[in-house]
A and B are shown apart, each in its own frame.
Chain A
Amino acid sequence: MRDLCGGIVMIKIENFSKQYGTGKKAVDSLTLEIEAGDIYGFIGHNGAGKTTTIKAIAGVLDFEEGKILIDGHSIKDEPVVCKQMMAYIPDNPDLYEHLTGIQYLNFIGDIFDVEKKERAERIRHYGDLFDITDSFGDLISSYSHGMKQKLALISAFIHKPKVLLLDEPFVGLDPKASLDLKKLMYEICEEGGSIFFSTHVLEVAEKLCNKIAIIKEGRLMASGDMETVIQKHSLEEVFMEVIENGQ
């Protein structure tokens, strides 16, 4: 699936809305396109609808209004096909605490049917990169928040996803791991993958992303190329302007 400019659209969100119970809409008619090679930042204040959107794209959250397509496949109609291409990491990775790190990674490898040799190589590679291989034999319940975050990231990378959905991925990571993650994000995009992630760290978003979307109270306030959105200002200034004045 290509967009008007000829880019391959990996995630297409059309008029997506989500309402919890009978209250107001958490997300209201959101429309976005994320192309192959994009590192797309998604920013907004607490409760703006970022997590709801990411969860809906990941197929974790059911929704009634709108359409979400992953590489042309509907997450509602073909969830398994879509999920095979994606990796999702929530803001607080509650992993299976009763498994050891290696058991969890092997479990993910089995589910995504990652070939045995490749699986071992990738686990070793990312484990060493994030400096966590030594702890693979321990129960996840003994891991710190940052270690769980690293393990969740490795579990995402071992099956080489085309689409990476990350909710606040830098929270809990040490400076080296943050830097390594940024490098890995660039690598994925260079290989034609797409990354859609939420963050509150605007400096990171400004430096890392080629595209940005700002959401306020469930409504998309601004989106597009980073340069077009921020122009001569900093992302922080634009964000504050949008949040306070809605412009």
Chain B
Amino acid sequence: MGSNQTDHISSLRGLWLITKVQLLTSFGINQLKYEKNRKKRGRYIGYLLGITILMCTLIGYSGTIGFGLGFTGMADVIPSFALTITGIVTLMFTMLKSSVMLFGFRDYDMLMSLPVQNRMVITSKFICMYVINLLFTFGIMIPMGITYAIFVPEFNGLTILLWVFGMLIGPFIPMTIATMLGAIIAAVSSRFKHKNLLSIILSYVAIVGIMIYTFYANSTEKSDAAFLADVSRLSGNISAKINAIYPPARFFERSICDNQILPMLLLIVISIVWFLLFINIVAIKYNRINTRIISQNTKTKYRMQELKTSSPLIALYKKEAARFFSSVGYVINCGMGIIMALILSIISVVNGPEGMLSMFADVKTTGLNGIMSGITCAIPFFLSAVISMTCTSAVSLSLEGKSLWIIKSLPIKTEKILQSKILFNLSLGIPASIICGSLLIASFQPKSFFEGIWFLLTPIVFSFFSSIFGMLINTKLPIYDWENEITVIKQSGSSMFGIFGGMLIGIIISFIVMVLGFAGFAEIAAGGMTILVAAITIIIYKIVMRQAI
């Protein structure tokens, strides 16, 4: 056996070994398998439950869309639609994750000291993200594949095989693009003194850019279309736009619709070549980028200045704020709710209420006149749902991690620690509620004072709700023994329940209010629901204040 071949085998073995450890750590498999402590096991079961709920929602959403398309005679659109949604989800998810998964991670020193090539370390990190993205891909593409099979008589064994290959290879290209963007952002930011701040700004610019691009791709050709034709064109448009970003994606469409193997083979080859190219490019500068990210700027000689004293609660609050703004992953993931709320509100002011609503329904064909009152009263809840996604309290306790001993050994009551975390979440949510609420008042121009007041009160009440609810979830499902903070921020049970729980509740209530609004009870419904949420929040707060950490 030649030495090159031996090297190759040993590097593949190295890749397998480090990937195995990464997967065991990322998914908490070992804790589930070996943890004897019931409480800790419960936390991981909570995490799995969170994933299951998320997957069920995704499957339900994808299945419904697939069925809708098939039922209206547009089954041919399903493959491109499935791939498009998968592409967007993968692109966004990887953008949010790659900056912390691939660069400046906690076990960098340990991994880089092992006799494994840089390429293998990058690949192992990539595989971890791939496995997570694969879960989303399955959640989208399996139900859509099933609906496609139901509505297309030509669907056969070969189509199943091609669809499976498409699912497996589907996330590769958007993942590589997102990771490449993440790598560029990390490389550029690492050259500057305020690298975290720059990284946060660049990441938001990239993510918001993708969102705005998707929005305008959706909305450009809607005005003169009939509803059904518009859905068809909408899907085609997104698919075409995605294809324009990475042309090989259209091979999937051809392969499925024409039952051809060759386009799929081409897709697989292009994906693998593109991936290998990416790995090799990043590997060249990998050490340098990481060293720059990890290394700290040290100031020259500190001179004692006058110290500013604060109360314990404010001291804890300041600590929370410093923690939040010090982490790129934390800001990008948990700040996304208020950024999205701001974008939606600005779009609403610039393009009018119809401009914002057209992101979710074809309002130009259905018209708003008859239902405006119902929609107007539901909007504050929808805004609340979006702002609720900024739920720092759902992860802030877990983020204490190995430093937990500090707050546990300090002479302060647990209540105060939890209050400081809630307070910090509120200091993000309340200003966002006031700004976005005011923008939406200007856009929707509510008819009465009482219709308008909910634009401000409802999101504020909801900010309290999501902050306190998030805190409750985190006291029940804390994870302190993490290696990478992104496992807490994105992959923990508490982040899923906290971030998506509040959002889901907000959306459900907005639908209830909308339905009641159509029946003529808009203001009563909005007021009643806001008061109900406030009452529930008070009850949860009392429960939270009794929790131990």
Residues of A within 8 A of B (CB): 20-23, 55, 58-60, 62, 79-84, 86, 88, 90, 92, 94-99, 101-103, 106-113, 116, 119-120, 123-124, 127, 133-139, 141-142
| Complex CA distance for A23 and B315, rounded to whole angstroms | 39
- By the criterion CB–CB under 8 Å, are B298 and A142 in contact? yes
Question: Which of B299, B409, B412 is within 8 Å of A88, CB to CB?
Answer: B409
Q: Within residues 283 to 318 of chain B, which ones have a CB less than 8 A from any CB in chain A?
A: 295-299, 301-302, 304, 306-312, 314-316, 318
Top 6 A-B pairs, shortest CB-CB distance? A142-B296, A98-B326, A137-B302, A110-B315, A21-B36, A83-B411
Residues of A within 8 A of B408 (CB): 58-60
Interface size of B as a range: 35 or more
Q: Which residue of A lies closest to B37 (CB)?
A: A21
Indicate whether B191 reaches chain A with its CB closer than 8 angstroms: no
A95–B406 touching, CB < 8 Å: yes
When the two chains form their complex, are residues B322 and A98 in contact, meaning their CB atoms are under 8 A apart? yes
Tell me whether chain A's interface is mostly helix, strand or loop, or mixed. Answer: helix
What are 8 A-B contacts with C-beta separation under 8 Å?
A96-B406, A98-B326, A101-B302, A102-B307, A109-B307, A111-B410, A111-B412, A123-B304
| B319 at the binding interface (Cβ < 8 Å) | yes
Q: Is the CB of B322 within 8 A of A99?
A: yes
**Known A21-B37, A137-B302; contact A103-B322, beta-carbon cutoff 8 A:** yes
Contacts of A81 in B (CB 8 A): 411
Check A58/B312 contact, CB under 8 A, given A23-B36, A116-B307.
Answer: no
A94 touches B401 (CB 8 A): yes
| Cα–Cα distance between A95 and B322 once the two chains are bound (Å) | 13
Q: Given A99-B322, A111-B412, is A135 in contact with B298 using a C-beta cutoff of 8 Å?
A: yes
Residue of A nearest to B402 (CB): A94
Known: A59-B408, A84-B411. A96 touches B302 (CB 8 A): no
Query: Hey, which chain A residues are within 8 Å of B36, CB to CB?
Result: 20-23
Chain A residues near B326 (CB, 8 Å)? 97-98
Verify B409–A58 contact, CB threshold 8 A.
yes
Chain A residues in 8 Å Cβ range of B413: 80
Q: A92-B402, A133-B304, A138-B299 are in contact. List 7 more A-B contacts (CB 8 A).
A: A96-B406, A99-B319, A102-B304, A106-B309, A108-B410, A116-B307, A138-B296
Complex contacts, A97 vs chain B, CB 8 Å? 326, 403
State whether A102 touches B302 (Cβ < 8 A). yes
Which chain B residue lies CB-closest to A167? B405
B411 and A96 within 8 A (CB): no
Asked if B327 is at the interface (CB within 8 A of a chain A CB), the reply is: yes
A88: chain B residues at CB < 8 Å are: 405, 409
Shortest Cβ distance from A57 into chain B, in angstroms? 10
Encoded as 1 (CB less than 8 Å from any A CB) or 0, chain B from 34 to 46 comes to: 0011100000000
Which of A110, A120, A123, A124 is the most central at the interface, judged by chain B CB atoms within 10 Å of its CB? A110
Distance to closest chain B CB from A155 (angstroms): 9
Q: How far is the CA of A88 from the CA of B411 in the complex (A)?
A: 11
Residues 364 to 422 of chain B near chain A (Cβ within 8 Å): 401-403, 405-406, 408-413
| Docked CA distance A90–B403 (Å) | 10
A120 / chain B contacts, CB cutoff of 8 Å: 304, 306-307
A97 to B310, CA, bound (A): 20
Interface residue ranges, B against A (CB under 8 Å): 36-38, 295-299, 301-302, 304, 306-312, 314-316, 318-319, 322-323, 326-327, 401-403, 405-406, 408-413, 548
Report B-chain residues with C-beta under 8 Å of the C-beta of A98: 322-323, 326-327
Contacts of A62 in B (CB 8 A): 548
Assess whether A110 is in contact with B311, with CB atoms less than 8 Å apart: yes
Cα A65 to Cα B499 in complex, Å, equals 38
Chain A residues positioned under 8 Å from B307 (CB to CB): 102, 106, 109, 116, 119-120, 123
In the complex, A83 Cα to B409 Cα: how many Å?
Answer: 6
Nearest-CB distance from B108 to chain A (Å)?
Answer: 13
- Considering the chains assembled together, what is the distance between the CA atoms of A167 and B470 in angstroms? 34
Q: Which residues of chain A have C-beta atoms less than 8 A from B402's C-beta?
A: 92, 94
* A95: chain B residues within 8 A (beta carbon): 403, 406
Question: Bound state CA distance, A123 and B403, in angstroms?
Answer: 21
Taking each of A90, A92, A95, A111, which has the highest tally of chain B beta carbons within 10 Å of its own beta carbon?
A: A111
| With contact pairs A21-B36, A107-B318, A110-B312 given, residues A138 and B411 touching in the complex (Cβ less than 8 Å) | no
The complex places the Cα of A120 from the Cα of B305 at a distance, in Å, of: 9
**Residues of chain B lying within 8 A (CB to CB) of residue A82:** 411
Q: Which residues of A contact B411 (CB under 8 A)?
A: 79-84, 111-112
Question: What is the minimal beta-carbon distance from A189 to any residue of chain B, in angstroms?
Answer: 21
Min CB distance A125 to B, Å, is 11
Pairwise interchain contact B302-A60, C-beta atoms closer than 8 A: no
Are the CB atoms of A141 and B296 closer together than 8 Å? Answer: yes
Cα–Cα distance between A141 and B297 once the two chains are bound (Å): 10
Which residue of B309, B315, B319, B323 contacts A116 across the interface (Cβ within 8 Å)?
B309
Known: A110-B309, A134-B301. A60 touches B409 (CB 8 A): yes
Q: Which residues of A contact B327 (CB under 8 A)?
A: 98
Tell me the minimal C-beta distance from B409 to chain A in angstroms.
4
Q: Which residues of A lie under 8 Å from residue B318 when comparing CB positions?
A: 107
Q: Report A-chain residues with C-beta under 8 Å of the C-beta of B311.
A: 110
Query: Which A residues are in CB contact (< 8 Å) with B403?
Result: 94-97
A179, chain B: closest CB distance, angstroms? 24
Q: Is the CB of B315 within 8 A of A107?
A: yes
CB distance from A152 to the nearest CB of B (A): 9
What A residues does B312 contact at CB under 8 A?
Answer: 110-111, 113
Q: With A60-B405, A120-B307, A142-B296 given, is the CB distance from A111 to B315 under 8 Å?
A: yes
| Least CB distance, A186 to chain B, in whole angstroms | 24
A60 to B316, CA, bound (A): 18
Q: With CB as the reference atom, state the residue of chain B lying closest to A143.
A: B296
- Known A-B contacts A95-B403, A96-B403, A139-B296; the reply to A134 vs B302 at CB < 8 A is yes
